[in-house]
Amino acid sequence: MTRPQAPVALVPRWSYETTLAGEPGSASRARAFVARHLTEHRLVHLLDPVRLTASELATHAVVRQTPFTLRLSELEDVVVVTVRDGMARATAHAPADATTEARVVDALGLRIVELVSLDCGVEIDTDGVTTLWASFARRHGRRPLDHHRRG
């Protein structure tokens, strides 16, 4: 099984970023942030899944009571939401492998993000800082759950 990689582009078409405190109200502010920018770019069909995802990813940082950076970007034909927390894990010595990342996703209760996104993942750097991300098809053509119904 290949490890999911966050979508990468040399230059995003657009990108917005905000830093929020690790407090309960931040999940609501994260939802408002993505809603404002999706509406601005006429991507209202993505409002529900992206708001849900932003809330779930923000909740990870809120539970840890750490500030976090939320980014919303359009790269090629996908919209990407990332949340990078501001707290290193003392136990981290190396980047996580796919098995570790799968356990992190399970432990964080992020299965709902897997269900509503095109793709998602967890990246843990050598300092233990966690970046959670999810991507969404920019166009209406593909329903988010289609890729989970194979087989």
Give 130-147 pLDDT, tens digit per residue. Answer: 899 999 999 875 544 444
- The pLDDT score that the predictor gives to residue 101 is 56
How many domains are contained in the chain? 1
pLDDT value at residue 1: 39
| Residue 31 covered by a domain | yes
Domain residue limits at 38: 15-138
CATH of the domain at 101: 3.30.565.10
Average pLDDT over residues 2-7: 52
Q: Is residue 2 part of a domain?
A: no
Tell me if 93 is assigned to some domain: yes
Give the separation between CA 41 and CA 52, rounded to whole angstroms: 18
Q: Please give the Cα distance from 34 to 79 (Å, whole number).
A: 11
Q: Residues near 73 by Cβ (< 8 Å), separated by ≥ 6?
A: 12, 13, 14, 15, 16, 79, 80, 82
**Could you tell me if residue 114 is inside a domain?**
yes
What pLDDT does 125 receive?
85
Say what the pLDDT of residue 20 is. Answer: 96
Residue 23 has pLDDT above 80, yes or no: yes
User: Could you tell me if residue 45 is inside a domain?
Assistant: yes
Q: Is residue 83 part of a domain?
A: yes
Report the phi/psi class of residue 37: left, alpha or beta, with left for phi > 0 and alpha for psi in -120 to 50.
alpha
Question: Residue 40 — very low, low, confident or very high, per pLDDT cuts 50/70/90?
Answer: very high
The pLDDT tens digits for 80-106 are: 999 998 765 544 344 555 556 555 555
Calculate the average pLDDT of the chain: 80
| Assigned domain for 144 exists | no
Helix axes 47-64, 25-40, angle to 10 degrees: 150
Residue 22 within any structural domain of the chain: yes
